[in-house]
A and B are shown apart, each in its own frame.
Chain A
Amino acid sequence: SYDLIQAPSVSVSPGQTANITCSGRGLGDNYASWYLKKPGQSPVLVIYQDTKRPSGIPERFSGSRSGNTATLTISGTQASDEADYYCQAWDSLTYVVFGGGTNLTVL
């Protein structure tokens, strides 16, 4: 099994680009998904299969993966993007794995 490691917090200025990374050896063989979670709200899928964006998710959200690291990129970050972001993937032993989450602050 493996863990998905995320930085606890990331800060970005409005209008700038935020990069949130997720590292884990299993990402070398498995795709990453990303979720946005605001307090009191349900998680929302923003990226799946590394790069795919569900309908209704703004184009400023994009994803990539290189080696064992997946990255969620938010371009032109807005105040409304402040949230916790979680990565998630599959592991053959523990099945569903979530990262610890990254709190994005827009200031």
Chain B
Amino acid sequence: QLQLEESGPGLVKPSETLSLTCSVSGGSISTTSHYWGWIRQSPGKGLEWLGSIYYSGSTYYNPSLKSRVTVSVDTSKNQFSLKLASMTAADTAVYYCARHGYTSAWYANWFDPWGQGTLVTVSS
């Protein structure tokens, strides 16, 4: 059974860069039929997609965050990572990683399964 687990600091200072890693177990990240994505949920708000990556390194980013987001993949470790620069209090959220399924031309896409999430607080 595929499982994903996020890891990283729970507290980040304003203006710093957040670095999170998602470790994938029970399956290979080097699959041709899936991307791997990052999604967050700020307190009291809805779900917000940050970016997704293919095992080859091809990426899609949320245009509203594109200048701050970098997603990378390490197939040798079966992991993918998120970097979010210039953190502010507005970036306080639970960050999830998930497998990102899709059909040709992206007419359909979905996230399944999800990691348990990790709370990141931005505070000095």
Residues of A at the B interface (CB closer than 8 Å) are 29-31, 33, 35, 37, 42-45, 48-50, 54, 86, 88-90, 92-101
Set of chain A residues within 8 Å of B101, measured between Cβ atoms: 48
Contact indicator A98/B48 (Cβ below 8 Å): yes
Q: Is the CB of A100 within 8 A of B46?
A: yes
Is B111 touching A35 in the complex (CB atoms < 8 A)?
Answer: yes
Chain A residue with the shortest CB-CB distance to B102: A90
**Interface of B: prevailing SS:** strand
Set of chain A residues within 8 Å of B114, measured between Cβ atoms: 42-44
Which chain B residue lies CB-closest to A84? B46
- Contact present for A33 and B46 (CB under 8 Å): no
> Residues of A contacting B48 with CB < 8 Å?
98
Q: Mark B89-124, 1 if CB is under 8 A from A, else 0.
A: 000000010100111001111111111110000000
Closest B residue to A93 by beta carbon equals B63
Q: Are A88 and B111 in contact (CB under 8 A)?
A: yes
Are B49 and A43 interface neighbours, CB within 8 A? Answer: no
Q: Is the CB of B47 within 8 A of A98?
A: yes
Among A44, A45, A48, contact of B108 (Cβ-Cβ < 8 Å): A48
Residues of B in contact with A (beta carbons under 8 Å apart): 37, 39, 41, 46-49, 52, 60-64, 96, 98, 101-103, 106-117
Q: Determine how close the nearest CB of chain B comes to the CB of A103; give it in whole angstroms.
A: 11
Query: Chain A residues near B111 (CB, 8 Å)?
Result: 33, 35, 43, 45, 88
Q: Per a CB cutoff under 8 Å, which of B46, B61, B106 touches A90?
A: B106
B116 touches A42 (CB 8 A): yes
Are B108 and A49 touching (Cβ within 8 A)?
yes
CB distance from A35 to the nearest CB of B (A): 7
Give the shortest distance, in Å, between B92 (CB) and chain A (any CB).
Answer: 16
Output the least CB separation between B63 and chain A (Å): 6
Q: In the bound complex, how far is the Cα of B61 from the Cα of A47, in angstroms?
A: 24
Question: Which interface residue of A30, A43, A88 has the most chain B CB atoms within 10 A?
Answer: A43
Known: A35-B111, A101-B46. A96 touches B62 (CB 8 A): yes
B64 partner residues in chain A, CB cutoff 8 A: 94
B117: nearest chain-A partner, CB-CB = A42
CA distance A33 to B98 in the complex (A): 14
